A and B are shown apart, each in its own frame.
Chain A
């Protein structure tokens, strides 16, 4: 009888183990190769978030393999407070593409206990500006050096909303953006960018977002050395 019971318990444990083991995460390579609207499941670390709104939050995320943009993930206001940089989350959703931005949409998430708080270091992609290779770094935290400011324009023609930044390098112009839901008017970077003048030469750090072409969401700006 005891042998029978032991066998049953082993069977039960195996079934449960099978249930957990079945959860297969999508690697970044698989994510990049996946067809649009494919189901994806990733374990990532929060790098930054846009402001929570209407039970949704947009997350810039990364793990050691690569970066992700998770658009309007379902999230309570309470959980949004815990989505701080470094927090590990398991995200289930679908791969989408909007105006060139590859993102995870219709996502849900759960927190994963992990003492490691992975924060990606910015990658210097200055030399890739204007090349087709730049898109390989989409959504990553990136750094551009020695950009000359061409113009600073507020979305509504006055401070409060997004700031559109046009910069030049090696004779070509590029669009950057201060996304107010990421770094709003109360942030240092918003004020710093707003104070830039045409001709200033700066280094810019941000998340390599895409909107009909590269459109980095600026998170830091410093005068170029």
Chain B
């Protein structure tokens, strides 16, 4: 039997284990116990570094080529640094792969990303390299004295774009490219319906024209295009759709601290409006139907909202096409700001890739990664990449360069490098930079964004599946989204979903089984009661 002294020792040991284990485990989790990054005094060029760069392109091999040329030029300047690139065409895949690799301490060194995603990466200990000190470093910082390339100074980065890369007041990324959303309009079809396009599109106008386009002839062909298919209004990113509508209406979405405010009455009204036009089939989404530009190029869509970074795919003479030549129709494309509730104060989202640096055991490796990251902001890379799509360079240095100014001025000279729709899309953002906005970034903001879009998707699918999109539907949707995306329900705004929605009628099979069970229990009880009565009578 254990004596008291041994018992006390064992208890003490147990207490120590219980107290220390969580620290050990949490220290190991994610970061593998990485130390906070400190900028080295000098970059050791006598050593060899191999860094990995996870890059994203828009299924556009010209962008891949710009990345390759950038890597090649950088490796020429820094022969001791090898950059291995892994290509993605989907931000979601990058995000998932990074999350997986945080657990095994195998994150890339440099990664194209969104600040929303960085906020989640940061939940691991020192996973990310904070960039403030690197920005300011005299030798290796922005326009530092020891750089082997002509990078931008901090004040040469567009302030709005740089600000998007700060999380809780600390920079964790550099902007790489910026875009916004544009509403690409088939002018011919709008006019055929008897409308004139206003200077600024409004939601009312877009809904009205879209409904007007739904009229069919006796054979089931749409009058406006003479085809069996017509989806007048298609939105590519429903996340952005909900977010932009809420912003334009000055309605709550979230606080900077991460309080979830989206489940409100304005959202409810937006969803009900979407339901009306989803039901009439005047409105659809990329997830439900396909790329807006494909429908538009086939004359089957009037208003296609997509990124300005997708402009090379829009229009009769688009350099990138995904539909057969015989389906392509001739039409005039207008590139406009997305529809507004208040045309005097237009608001549109700022989006586009940023680039972040992951922390590593070796600060020299991080410094090498930072040098490459900065190199992506040099003029050749910025202008080269921006020209592949309707992107805008993130540095004023590139935007104001003679090369870029010349590029913009030659809009429409050809249907390739100077493709007019693409350059109009880039100009749209440059002319509206002060009207752009981003949503607050916090751990969970990526999920909130997903929920914002999914609500629209669910409503459109819901009405087409003959469901009534009423308050009960929206209540349940709020609950489902909060649960699926683990959005907290802590405050009053988010308790809308606490009114537990009806779960709907039971399926027939379940009903039958329950009835059956009820009958069996009734039988058992009846039998038992009868048996008791019988015994009682016998005793009497």
Q: Are A96 and B526 in contact (CB under 8 A)?
A: no
Identify which of A7-15, A119-127, A191-199 touches chain B: A7-15
Encode B285-314 as 1/0 by CB contact (under 8 A) with A.
000111100100000000000000000000
Range of interface residues on B (Cβ < 8 Å): 35 or more
- Which chain B residues lie closer than 8 Å to A16 at the CB level? 512-513, 516
Q: In the complex, how many angstroms separate the beta carbon of A3 from the nearest chain B beta carbon?
A: 12
Q: How far is the CA of A12 from the CA of B513 in the complex (A)?
A: 8
Q: Give chain A nearest CB distance to B404 CB in angstroms.
A: 25
Asked whether A36 is an interface residue with its Cβ less than 8 Å from the other chain, the reply is yes
B515 close to A15 (CB less than 8 A): yes
The contact of A36 among B57, B464, B508, by CB within 8 Å, is: B464
Closest to B527 in A: A5
Contacts of B59 in A (CB 8 A): 155
Q: Is A81 close to B, CB under 8 A?
A: no
Query: Which of B123-131, B147-155, B343-351, B517-525 touches A?
Result: B517-525
Q: Convert A139-183 into 0s and 1s, putting 1 for each residue whose CB lies closer than 8 angstroms to a CB of B.
A: 000000000000000011110110000000000000000000000
Bitwise, A1-28 to B at CB < 8 A (1) or not (0) is 1001100110111011111101100000
A93, chain B: closest CB distance, angstroms: 11
B87 to A22, Cβ gap below 8 A? no
Residue of A at shortest CB range from B530?
A: A1
A203 part of interface (Cβ distance < 8 Å): no
Alpha-carbon distance between A17 and B513 when the two chains are bound, in angstroms: 9
Asked if residues A37 and B465 are in contact (CB atoms below 8 Å), the reply is yes
Contact between B64 and A11 (Cβ–Cβ < 8 Å)?
Answer: no
A115 within 8 A of B: no
Does B65 have its Cβ within 8 Å of any Cβ on chain A?
yes
CA distance A160 to B399 in the complex (A): 34
| Contact (Cβ within 8 A) A8 B530 | no
The residue from B65, B96, B464, B519 contacting A12, defined by CB atoms under 8 A apart: B519
Q: Nearest Cβ in chain B — how far from A36, in angstroms?
A: 7
Nearest CB on A from B410, distance (A): 26
Decide if B89 is an interface residue (CB 8 Å cutoff): yes
B residues near A39, Cβ cutoff 8 Å = 465
Residues of A within 8 A of B512 (CB): 15-20, 22
Interface residues on A, range: 35 or more
Cβ contact within 8 Å between A12 and B64? no
Q: Mark A34-62, 1 if CB is under 8 A from B, else 0.
A: 00111100000000000001100000000
Nearest A residue to B517 via CB reads A12
Instruction: Give bound CA distance, A96 to B461, whole Å.
Output: 10
Other-chain contact of A19, B289, B510, B520 (Cβ < 8 Å): B510
A163 to chain B, nearest CB (A): 13
- The reply to whether B289 and A98 contact each other, CB–CB distance below 8 Å, is yes
B-side contacts of A53, CB under 8 Å:
96
Indicate the member of B87, B516, B530 with the most A CB atoms within 10 Å. B516
Q: A106-B461, A155-B59, A212-B322 are in contact. Are A9 and B523 (CB under 8 A)?
A: yes
Q: Are A157 and B516 in contact (CB under 8 A)?
A: no
Residues of A within 8 Å of B522, CB to CB, are 8
Pair B508/A19 contact, Cβ less than 8 Å: yes
Q: Tell me whether chain A's interface is mostly helix, strand or loop, or mixed.
A: mixed
* Residues in B neighbouring A4, C-beta threshold 8 A: 526
Contact B323 A157 (CB under 8 A): no
Closest to A18 in B: B512
User: Considering only CB atoms, which chain A residue lies closest to B466 in the complex?
Assistant: A37
Q: Give the residues from 62 to 77 in chain B that come closer than 8 angstroms, CB to CB, to chain A.
A: 64-65
> A212 to B324, Cβ gap below 8 A?
yes
Q: What separation, in Å, do the CA atoms of A111 and B509 have in the docked complex?
A: 18
CB pair B509–A98 under 8 Å, yes or no, is no
B6 interface residue (CB < 8 Å to A)? no
Which of A5, A22, A37, A155 is close to B89, meaning CB atoms less than 8 Å apart? A155
Min CB gap B70→A, angstroms = 15
Instruction: Assess whether A96 is in contact with B288, with CB atoms less than 8 Å apart.
Output: yes
**Nearest CB of chain A from residue B370's CB, rounded to whole Å:** 26
Residue from the set B57, B509, B517 with the largest chain A CB neighbour count within 10 Å:
B509
Q: How far is the CA of A98 from the CA of B61 in the complex (A)?
A: 24
Most buried by B among A9, A17, A18, A160: A18
Q: Is B35 an interface residue (CB 8 A)?
A: no
Which of A13, A36, A158, A160 makes the CB contact (< 8 A) with B516? A13
Residues from chain A with Cβ under 8 Å of B523 in the complex: 5, 8-9, 12
Q: Is B511 an interface residue (CB 8 A)?
A: yes
CB neighbours (8 Å) of A94 from chain B are 461, 465
The 4 closest A-B pairs by CB, nearest first: A19-B512, A99-B290, A37-B464, A8-B523
12 example contacts (A-B, Cβ-Cβ < 8 A) are as follows A1-B530, A5-B523, A5-B526, A12-B517, A18-B508, A22-B512, A36-B464, A37-B461, A37-B464, A54-B96, A99-B289, A106-B461
| Known interface pairs A13-B516, A17-B512; 5 further A-B residue pairs with C-beta atoms within 8 A, sorted by A's residue number | A5-B526, A9-B520, A38-B465, A99-B291, A212-B322
Please list the residues of chain A having a beta carbon within 8 angstroms of any beta carbon in chain B.
1, 4-5, 8-9, 11-13, 15-20, 22-23, 36-39, 53-54, 94, 96-100, 106, 155-158, 160-161, 212-213
